[in-house]
Amino acid sequence: MNRLGVSIGILSVMAAGCTASVLATIHITARMSEQVDIVEQAFTAGETELCVTAAKELSHIWDDMMHYSILINDLGHAVEITSSIAEIQSFAEDNNEEIYASCDRAQAQIEMFRDMHIPTFWKII
């Protein structure tokens, strides 16, 4: 009977940890998407300082995400997001219109990253 109780306890802790991880990933990726929108809107409005500041904040959010994530299944995808965020920051500092393409690419990659971490029946099997 003790083994059953311990097994249920371990399973409960694992389920709680997985749920917390998924919720944190959803929250952080939503913040990142909002930050990309802020960068794009600031660039469109011609507010260079706000654009650069928002791009730096986006980089900090992603760095926090990388420190939070103990295991990242697809390191290549994480490198692509890091590259897109670096491009956004560089284009914001240079006031380059290529920032729009980088923002769109980052949004797609962030969405894919979020979807990768949401468990579905087919991913579990």
For residue 87, give Cα distances in angstroms to 68, 103, 105: 23, 9, 10
Q: 92, 81, 67, 64: which is closest to 116 by C-alpha? A: 81
Task: Specify the pLDDT at position 104.
Answer: 94
Task: Specify the pLDDT at position 1.
Answer: 67
Region 72-81: what's the mean pLDDT? 73
Place of tokens 């990659």: 109
The CATH architecture to which 2-124 belongs is Up-down Bundle (1.20)
Place of tokens 């083994």: 3
pTM of the model: 0.81
Q: How many CB atoms lie within 10 A of CB 120?
A: 8
Task: Specify the pLDDT at position 119.
Answer: 78
In tens, the pLDDT along 3-52 reads 888 989 999 998 888 888 788 888 989 999 999 999 999 999 999 999 99
Task: Specify the pLDDT at position 70.
Answer: 57
Distance, in Å, from the CA atom of 9 to the CA atom of 5, rounded to the nearest integer, reads 6
- Residue 50's contacts (CB-CB under 8 Å, 6 or more residues apart) are 38, 42
For residue 43, give Cα distances in angstroms to 11, 83, 100: 48, 19, 9
